[in-house]
Amino acid sequence: MINKFYTPYNRFWHWTQMLMVILLSVTGWEIHGTYKFFGYQAAVSIHNAAAWGFIILTIFSMFWMALTGEWKQYLPTMNKMGAQIKFYLSGIFYGEPHPVLKSRHRKLNPLQRMVYFLILMITIPFQIITGLIYMYFHLAKNAIGIEYMRDTAILHTIGAFLLIAFLLVHVYLVTTGHTVWSNIKAMFTGYEKSEEHAELEHQ
pLDDT at 78: 92
CATH of the domain at 131: 1.20.950.20
Other beta carbons within 10 angstroms of residue 97's beta carbon come to 9
CA dist 121 and 132 (Å) reads 17
Q: 140: pLDDT confidence band, cut at 50, 70 and 90?
A: low
Give the count of domains, the chain.
1
Q: Over pLDDT 70: what percentage of the chain? A: 89
Q: What is the SS3 assignment for 155?
A: helix
57-87 pLDDT, tens digit each: 999 999 999 999 999 999 999 999 999 999 9
User: How far is it, in rounded angstroms, from Cα 172 to Cα 95?
Assistant: 16
Query: Which pLDDT band, with edges at 50, 70 and 90, does 201 fall under?
Result: very low
d(CA 106, CA 121) in angstroms, rounded, equals: 19
What does DSSP say about strands 2-4 and 191-193: parallel, antiparallel, or unpaired?
A: antiparallel
User: Under a CB-based contact definition with an 8 Å cutoff, are residues 158 and 146 in contact?
Assistant: no
pTM score, two decimals? 0.83
- Is the predicted pLDDT of residue 117 greater than 80, yes or no? yes
- Mean pLDDT of the 6-26 span: 93
User: Mean pLDDT for the chain?
Assistant: 86
Q: What is the pLDDT of residues 141-188, one digit of tens each?
A: 666 555 567 788 889 999 999 999 999 999 988 888 777 888 888 889
Is residue 190 within 8 Å of 7, Cβ to Cβ?
yes
Which residue range is the domain that position 10 belongs to? 2-201
d(CA 32, CA 10): 33
State residue 198's pLDDT score.
40
